Structure 1
Amino acid sequence: MSALLKLAAAVSVIALSPTAVATASAQELSVIASFSIIADLAKNVGGDRVKITTLVGPGGDAHVYEPKPADAVAVAGADVVLVNGLEFEGFLERLVEASGTTAPIVELTSGSEILSSAEEEHHEGGEEGHQEGAEEEHADEEDEDHGAFDPHAWQSVRNAEVYVDNIAVAFCSADAAGCDTYKANAEAYGEQLIALDAEIRAAVAQIPEERRTIITSHDAFGYFEHEYGVDFVAPEGVSTESEASAADIAALIEQVRADKASAIFVESITNSRLIEQIASETGLTVGGELYSDALSSEGGPAVTYIDMMRHNITTIKAAILRS
């Protein structure tokens, strides 16, 4: 039996304890965010009315995260649990079961434009799209291991706007008294996201179309590619748990040698050795570090979602244009 399940009974007692209830602020909504990007979006919507606990913090990899007993305690006492969904948080089901929480588990990708993990097609409409895809057969082994859909939907700013709307709805449902505040915050932050989307499009427009193919560690930028027209090639799949085969690496090296890739980048959550190997064998210079699945720690270049997206496009553009 896992440590989480061993503590499940104890967690239930803590969640129901009168002392625990008495110490909670009556004006503060207790929110669990599954990882750092969601936590930042939630902070912008919730403001001072919410207390956010982040399970997978800055620099963490939610693909491989192993929950701690303290996580189960936190989830047990939450008013709202915000998650990405699309099987991004592989730990989620067992954590929720261990916690015994009665809080709503809100999948923020609901209503977003969702891409298949093979990037061959896309589905719109959140849960409806999920159900349709679940009925399809996928021969690709990676799809079977990591789900039929690419979970990195936040890499499209327009999808991030949907996340924000879903957060506001969840907060209003849990705290009706604060609903006007949540709606106003979401609207104000949404304006910032609209400006960010336009900024990214303008930056991409300055990159010649024939030079918009780049290499990253794992396949986390499909939504960025779909939305903004930069072609990302990765030796690993949509999850960092997958490993590139020798054949995959060889094919990628041949593609680079055929001058089809303009730049190569490491990712903040992955081991850089594979990218450095490819760079060494192709003569490309590593163009910098991109942030895909997690924000940076304080003092880094990607401490917020907007900072992350701006850093990524600035790094991509600079590396391509100087190569």
Structure 2
Amino acid sequence: MRIRLIPSFAAALLALGIASRAQADDKVNAVASFSILADMVKNVGGDRVVVTELVGPDGDAHEFDPTPADAKKLAGADIFFVNGLGFEGWMERLETSSGFKGATVVASKGVKALTIEEDDEHLHGDVADDDDDHDEHAKGEDHDDDEHEDHAKGEDHDHDEHAKGEDDDHDHEDHAKGEDDDHDHEEHAKGEDHDDEHAEAHHHHHHGGTDPHAWQDLANGEIYVANIRDGLIAADPDGKAVYEANAEKYLAALKKEDAAVKAAIGALPQSHRRIITSHDAFGYFGEAYGLEILAPEGISTASEPSAKDVAKIIRQIREDKIPAVFMENITNPKMLEQIAKESGAKIGGTLYSDALSAKDGPAPTYLDMFKHNVGTLTAALSS
């Protein structure tokens, strides 16, 4: 009897194996550009979607350099989720090299993008009129012709010299030698290597452009979720009911967390709502929740601040009695440690800006990231 059952049992196992493979093949193969976006896609896609992230936990999408393995991942995908707003400067190159034929979904479509500008003392954000303007910015066209002409008129050097990192009042040359009127800045200049290439990148980066970090406002996160839902429905119409139900549940959680963040930051004294972070990734957070965020680096981690900029930050911390500086999980902490030491501000902890933590870390999901960041901010600023 048992001998005659073995073929039937084997056939059943084979059938189960075939069914399992068929179910796996039926899943939507999605690639997300970075870990925060991948988590959103997982929440909306649920069991119908397999999600692969290109830039993983604690990774820096600004500095990401796709490999042939990444191109292979994208080549086999049904759908590609990207942030947009110029965040993934490598995206088009990767799509071309991979031969990707699927749909690309820009998760930030529809958000009111902020722009980054620089004045004499610090960076600030304004609402951009057109999200598409950043496509030109991503190609290096940060300034229009009129701005460039006006800027050139105020310089003692010609444009070629300025592009090499030379400041209008010769400060850059002096700072490179460690000669600054501010003694703290002199110490900093001696401890940091800011070559002309970095100065040039910093110059171009800070004088205007779209801020791509729109996910740092949970209201924008809701827009991301809606775009992800619609993209998955277009790729997999049979899963429409599942994607809509998952998105509705996830949106409710985002709304709840948004209210919690507003309440927590709103409880802080007004005088304690100014902080320093290493790069300017929290502009949307500041606009949405009432914090003023200052950053020595711009919206990208690809450039370093000049010694002059760092000296201005140090002076501003002292003058405005800014209580704390915060590290970021994707940036080198040495610069902020130097700023904290010279200014007297305390280091308030580590914030997660452009990437989640590993699964066993404090910010393994998008919602956990907000909970951790707000807890870290309020703990440091309420004391």
TM tier relative to shorter chain: 0.7 to 0.9
What TM-score, normalized by structure 2, do the two folds share? 0.74
Aligned to 2:29: 30
Q: Distance in 1 between matches of 2:62 and 2:305?
A: 16
Out of 366, 371, 383, the position equivalent to 1:305 is: 366
1:30–1:143 distance in 2 versus 1, CA, 3 Å:
farther
Aligned to 1:18: none
1:46–1:160 distance in 2 versus 1, CA, 3 Å:
same
What displacement does 1:260 show? Answer: 3.6
Q: Distance in 2 between matches of 1:209 and 1:135?
A: 34
Q: Are residue 316 (structure 1) and residue 377 (structure 2) matched? A: yes
Q: Are residue 200 (structure 1) and residue 261 (structure 2) matched? A: yes
Contact 1:213 1:260 in 2 (8 A): no
Amino acid at match of 1:149: T
Question: Which runs of structure 1 show a deviation greater than 6 angstroms over 4 or more consecutive aligned residues?
Answer: 131-136
Contact 2:31 2:81 in 1 (8 A): yes
What runs of 5+ residues in structure 2 fail to find an aligned partner?
A: 1-20, 118-123, 152-200
Contact 1:112 1:125 in 2 (8 A): no
Q: Distance in 1 between matches of 2:129 and 2:223?
A: 12
Percent identical: 48
- How is 1:148-163 mapped onto 2 (pairs within 5 angstroms)? 148-163=209-224
Contact 1:263 1:287 in 2 (8 A): yes
Amino acid at match of 1:279: A
Aligned to 1:123: 128
What displacement does 1:64 show? Answer: 0.3
Q: Tell me the number of residue pairs that the alignment of Structure 1 and Structure 2 aligns.
A: 300
Amino acid at match of 2:39: D
Q: Distance in 1 between matches of 2:287 and 2:95?
A: 33
Q: Distance in 1 between matches of 2:131 and 2:318?
A: 39
Amino acid at match of 2:278: S
Aligned to 1:168: 229
Which has the greater radius of gyration? 2
What displacement does 1:148 show? Answer: 2.1
What runs of 5+ residues in structure 1 fail to find an aligned partner?
A: 1-21
Aligned to 2:76: 77
What displacement does 1:86 show? Answer: 1.2
Aligned to 1:114: 113
What displacement does 1:144 show? Answer: 4.8
Q: Distance in 2 between matches of 1:60 and 1:120?
A: 25
Contact 1:109 1:126 in 2 (8 A): no
Contact 1:108 1:162 in 2 (8 A): yes
Q: Secondary structure at the match of 1:63?
A: helix
1:244–1:191 distance in 2 versus 1, CA, 3 Å:
same
Aligned to 1:61: 60
Aligned to 2:103: 104
Q: Distance in 2 between matches of 1:115 and 1:86?
A: 10
- How is 1:189-268 mapped onto 2 (pairs within 5 angstroms)? 189-268=250-329
